Structure 1
Amino acid sequence: MKKQSMWSLRLSTAALVLIPVAVGVNYIGKLLAQLLKLPLWLDSIGTVLAAMLGGPIVGALAGAINNIIYGFTDPISFVYAITSVAIGLAVGILFYKGYISSWGKAIVAGLIIGLVATVISTPLNIGFWGGQTGNVWGDALFAFILANTDSTWLASLLDELVVDVPDKLLVVLISFGIFKGLPRNVVQLYNNNEKIETLD
């Protein structure tokens, strides 16, 4: 027996089913945020959950496929696949290392994921949207900071930060709650953190 590598890509039936389910969960989260007119996106719950269950590569695949599908109706989503891949990778790594094993750790992980998303999305926002996020609260802050500092980079960074950090914090907490509520036999289908039988 040996411990399965964090980077093992075991595309079992369970993993292959998990990816479209994750995309569907992402869509439901995004739709819910829009219906409730929340100043958040909530469109990466499935990606985070897939990374917790299947590891960083499965999480990254779920995130990328999610944005590719969105991209057919909103082409700019193709670009933000980079951010979704980074979220999947970061969550998968943190979970594998045991940094998302309690509510307290999930809060810290959510803040870290929010910062990761902010750092990657800010240059994309500047390149494609003049620095804005399209979020009402964030863009209001963008306009205020830009008017007072004349710094597009600072305005864009803070615009993304005030939306991404609370969004990813809530997403990680929701995902962790779902994970804890899953039946043990479902979690064991993926079992990235435990020892597995091998033939060598």
Structure 2
Amino acid sequence: MKENGIDTKASRFNMWKLHLSVATVTLIPAAVGINYVAKAFAEGLKLPLWLGSLGTYLASMLAGPTAGAISGFINNIIYGLTLSPVSTVYSITSIAIGIVVGVLFNRGWFSNVKRVFVSAILIALTSAIISTPLNVIFWGGQTGIPWGDALFATMIGNHINIWIASFTDEFVLDIMDKVVVAYLAFFIYRQLPQRMINYFKDNQ
């Protein structure tokens, strides 16, 4: 069955297979590179979002949640060691994003535009739930994105609990970021040659 150009049945894979095939091992560095460049681009232009999970999405869609989780984790470590030490703290968030994207994709939730939006909200919620305690512990509840932190400061100024304020700050930013990245990944995936998609699927 095809939805919006994606063969949802053929794109399913053995989701939790732990064996890393040659195809997957080749994909992971490419996904890490995409994450790294996208995040550096967003930070360089001071965009109100991160974009640093695009490669993670694509790896999860092509090769499953294990590949996505590994890609996200490695990128956070490398990015943290080279450009932004704060990135390392959020490795666990990237792992969770890779897992959730892989599960949702495998269940057909990246098969059309409407489902992609719902998927992005679920991914944003996952990211916010995991990141909020890290924000509170390490950064006093803030995210580092100015307009999100302005919302946080306003809520704190109105005596709203720091956990609620921090979650709101994170979730509002995550919704925008994860929706943008989800649609980018969706449209990129649709443009990939079917032969490439089959190559990863057949090597699961």
Q: TM-score scaled by structure 1?
A: 0.91
Shift of 1:150: 4.0
The aligned counterpart of 1:32 is 41
Alpha-carbon distance in 1 for matches of 2:161, 2:51 = 28
Q: Match of 2:4? A: none
Query: Which residue among 68, 80, 84 is the counterpart of 1:59?
Result: 68
1:21 to 16, 30, 38: 30
Shift of 1:20: 0.7
Q: 1:95 to 1:64 in 2, by over 3 A?
A: same
Question: Aligned partners of 2:131 and 2:121: how far apart in 1?
Answer: 15
> Is structure 2 residue 162 aligned with structure 1 residue 149?
no
- Cα distance in 2 for residues equivalent to 1:37 and 1:150: 28
- 1:80 equivalent in structure 2: 90
Match of 2:174 among 164, 172, 181: 164
Amino acid at match of 1:44: S
| Partner SS for 1:50 | helix
Q: How does 1:123-142 map to 2 (within 5 A)?
A: 123-142=133-152
8 Å Cα contact 1:33-1:41 kept in structure 2:
yes
Q: Give the % identical residues.
A: 51
Match of 1:115 in 2: 125
Note the 1:5-16 alignment, pairs <5 A: 5-16=14-25
Deviates more, 1:74-83 or 1:123-132: 74-83
Q: Would you say the 8 A contact 1:51–1:57 is kept in 2?
A: yes
Contact 1:44 1:63 in 2 (8 A): yes
* C-alpha deviation, 1:70, in angstroms: 1.5
Q: Is the 8 A contact 2:36 2:79 kept in 1?
A: no
Structure 1 residues 119 and 94: CA distance shift in structure 2, 3 A? same
Which residue pairs with 2:3 in the alignment?
none
**Post-superposition offset of 1:9:** 2.5
Higher deviation after alignment, 76-85 or 45-54:
76-85
Q: Read off the aligned partner of 1:27 and give its amino acid letter.
A: Y
How large is the Cα RMSD of the aligned pairs?
1.7
* Structure 1 counterpart of 2:113, from 92, 103, 107: 103
Letter in 2 for 1:132: Q
Q: Aligned equivalents of 1:79 and 1:34: distance in 2?
A: 17
Offset of 1:82 from its aligned partner? 0.3
